[in-house]
Structures are given as structure tokens and as C-alpha cells.
């Protein structure tokens, strides 16, 4: 599985790409088919930890797909 976090200027994004059947199954357990991608919000001046943002994106929000 490839996990990429991109920070450019004040923006931050996360992308998770499965590279095998196990990765596909793991993402499918969270209701995601294929790659998962999400904008995590502003990187500069944020008071929320990145891990909290990632967890909150799975709770009650539909996954953003390409």
C-alpha cells in the first residue's frame, strides 16, 4: 500500500493507493473502492493533529474518490 501526504503552501492532502489484494480488502473494509484521497485542510496554523483529521474523515463522511 502506498500512503502519500502532500503539503504545499497552506494545503495538505492524503492519498492511499492499494498495491495488492490485501490493500484493496483493507480499504474496502472502510467502504472505499480503489484509491482514497482527501484534502485534510490547512496545514498552517491548524490546532487539530493530522491523525485526528484522518480518523474524523472516516467517521460519518463518505470517502472522496477520483
Share of the chain above pLDDT 70, in %: 62
Domain count, the chain: 1
**Whole-number Å distance between alpha carbons of 46 and 65:** 25
Regarding pTM above 0.75, the answer is no
**Any domain includes 65:** no
**Any domain includes 49:** yes
**Any domain includes 64:** no
Residue 24's pLDDT is 92
Enumerate the H helices of the chain as residue ranges: 21-29, 50-58
The answer to whether the CB of 47 falls within 8 A of the CB of 35 is no
Phi-psi region of 22 (alpha: psi -120 to 50; beta: other; left: phi over 0): alpha
Determine the structural domain holding residue 52 and report its residue range.
2-58
Q: Within 13 Å of residue 35, how many CA atoms lie on the same side as its CB? A: 11
**Any domain includes 46:** yes
For the segment 8-28, what is each residue's pLDDT rounded down to a tens digit? 888 888 899 999 999 999 999
**pLDDT of 66 over the 50 cut:** no
**Any domain includes 63:** no
**Any domain includes 15:** yes
pLDDT tier for residue 7 given thresholds of 50, 70 and 90: confident
Amino acid at each position: 500500500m502506498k500512503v502519500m501526504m502532500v503539503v504545499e503552501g497552506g494545503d495538505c492532502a492524503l492519498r492511499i493507493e492499494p498495491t495488492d489484494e490485501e490493500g484493496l480488502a483493507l480499504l474496502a473494509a472502510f467502504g472505499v473502492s480503489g484509491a482514497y484521497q482527501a484534502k485534510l485542510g490547512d496545514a498552517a496554523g491548524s490546532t487539530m493533529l493530522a491523525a485526528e483529521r484522518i480518523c474524523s474523515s472516516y467517521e460519518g463522511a463518505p470517502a472522496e474518490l477520483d
